[in-house]
Homo-oligomer: A and B are copies of this chain.
């Protein structure tokens, strides 16, 4: 079940392979890939060490234990997610454009950090103690911010009034998060093109109002 993912990588300019230095970041990145592919519980530290071209014991110099690796993945996702979203939501942009930016932001995270995002939404159960509760709370706060954009749009009459903001948020989030399941870079559409299609779909709808190209 061990899978080679990273190898002594990177060339030093002379074309010869040199061993990449092991660091917390390297470990976390490789772990995210393995956890996303096989699940946290089904990934052993031996798998992870093998993927990094290292022995199991070496990992323990950089991280306290397996759960800490998981914690670091969660923190990484929140680090790249929260602040940009807050900036978008708190800006003076009109609601429709704001929602499009939110969708673009969230799909970007889902596409660029696909393994981390997968782990984020999949492996929450394996967090314990106060950290688990902290994540729950910050995840809720994140959703709440998106909800606010929709509420704002309804309040100013730009969005339909008969749509529950919470349900709409869940729908949008689901749409975006699903990206990590199927999106592969280099496909027909770029992440931002997909985000634009999603925005058009969610805001304008699929239905034709009048014949448009």
Bound-complex Cα distance A8 to B153 (A): 52
Main SS of the interface on chain A?
helix
A39 at interface by CB-CB < 8 Å: yes
Contact B160 A171 (CB under 8 A): no
Name the one of B121, B126, B174, B204 contacting A179, with C-beta atoms under 8 angstroms.
B174
Q: Which residues of B contact A178 (CB under 8 A)?
A: 170-171, 173-175, 177-178
Contact B206 A160 (CB under 8 A): yes
Contact B201 A202 (CB under 8 A): yes
A40-B42, A42-B39, A209-B209 known; A204 vs B171 contact (CB < 8 Å): no
A41-B43, A43-B41 known; A181 vs B212 contact (CB < 8 Å): no
Q: Which residues of B contact A208 (CB under 8 A)?
A: 157-161
> A1-45 interface mask toward B, CB cutoff 8 Å, 1 = contact, 0 = none?
000000000000000000000000000000000000111111100
State which of A48-56, A80-88, A129-137, A192-200 sits at the interface with chain B. Answer: A192-200
Q: Which 6 A-B pairs have the closest CB atoms?
A: A41-B42, A174-B178, A205-B205, A41-B41, A39-B39, A174-B175
Write the residues of chain A forming the contact surface with B, with a CB cutoff of 8 angstroms: 37-43, 96, 99, 121-123, 125-126, 150, 153, 157-164, 167-168, 170-179, 181-182, 188-189, 194, 197-198, 200-209, 211-213
